[in-house]
Amino acid sequence: GYCLLPLTAQRLVAVAFPLQMDQVVNAPAWARSDMYEMLVKVGEGTAVNIDTVPQIVREIAADRFGLKTHEETRELPVYLLVRARADRATGSGLKPAAVDCTLRKPPTRAPDQPLPAELSRCGLTQRPGVVSMSGFPMDPFVRILSNIVGRVVVDRAGLEGNWDLDLEFAPDLSPDSAGGPPTDRPSIFSPLTEQLGLKLEAGRAPVSVVAIDEIR
C-alpha cells in the first residue's frame, strides 16, 4: 500500500497533476476544507515512485470524487525562485544529494532483500518553521514553498538533480496559535537567502492551471 496523509480534495488534485495549490482552480468550498484520509493499494509489480504517484492519484480522484478537469493558462501573481548570490553558489543548507530517493531506478536486489540502508535518509518533512528534504528534486520543495508564502512559485533557480536541504524560519502563527512559544527566527524570505542561497522575486507570469469541471 501507499499511504497518503490526511488531505483535502483540492490538495489531492494538486498531488495528482502535480501542481501547487493555487494552480487548482474552481474547487468548491467543501473540497478546500473537508479532510480525507486515504490508503492506496497498488497491484504487485506496480512501480510507486516520484513519476508514477501522480497517475495513481489521478485514478483515485476520478474514482472517489468523479473528478473531471481541463487545463488552462492564466496570468497570476507569482514569486520567481532564483539564485540570490552573484556566484550562483547555494547556501550551507542546500547541497547535492548523495542518494537518489526518487526510486526511478530502484537498486537491484532480491525480492526478500531490504532496501539499502542509505535510503533510510530519504524524506521530506514539513512542520511549523522547518522544512527538511533528502534525496529529491526541487519540485516538492517548490510546492511546499508556494503553500507557505501563499502564492504560486515559479522555479527559475536551475537546480537539476536531487538535493538535500534544511530550512528554518519563523512560522506564520495564526491567531489561534498566537500563544505558542516565541521565536527569534526571521520569516522565510531572509532564511531562504541566508541558508539556501535562493530568493523570491515578486512578479506576474503565465501559469498552467487545472480547472475543476466536476467533483462530488
Question: CA 187 to CA 185: how far, in whole Å?
Answer: 7
Q: Which residue has the higher pLDDT, 5 or 59?
A: 59
Assign 65 to helix, strand or coil: helix
Q: What is the pLDDT of residue 178?
A: 44
Task: Answer for the pair 165, 181: CB distance below 8 angstroms, yes or no.
Answer: no
Q: What is the pLDDT of residue 171?
A: 84
Q: What is the mean pLDDT of residues 117-132?
A: 86
Question: CA 150 to CA 78: how far, in whole Å?
Answer: 9
Question: CA 12 to CA 19: how far, in whole Å?
Answer: 10
Percent above pLDDT 70 for the chain: 87
Question: CA 97 to CA 86: how far, in whole Å?
Answer: 23
- What is the residue whose three cell numbers read 521530506? 124
Residue 206 pLDDT level (bands cut at 50, 70, 90): very high
Residue 135 pLDDT level (bands cut at 50, 70, 90): very high
Q: What is the mean pLDDT of residues 103-117?
A: 69
Assign 71 to helix, strand or coil: strand
Q: What is the mean pLDDT of residues 88-96?
A: 98
Range among 79-83, 106-110, 117-121 with highest mean pLDDT value: 79-83
- Which pTM does this prediction carry? 0.80
Residues 50-74: tens digit of each pLDDT: 888 899 899 989 999 999 999 999 9
Q: What is the pLDDT of residue 172?
A: 73
Q: What is the mean pLDDT of residues 163-186?
A: 70
Range among 38-42, 46-50, 120-124 with highest mean pLDDT value: 120-124
Q: What is the DSSP letter of 21?
A: G
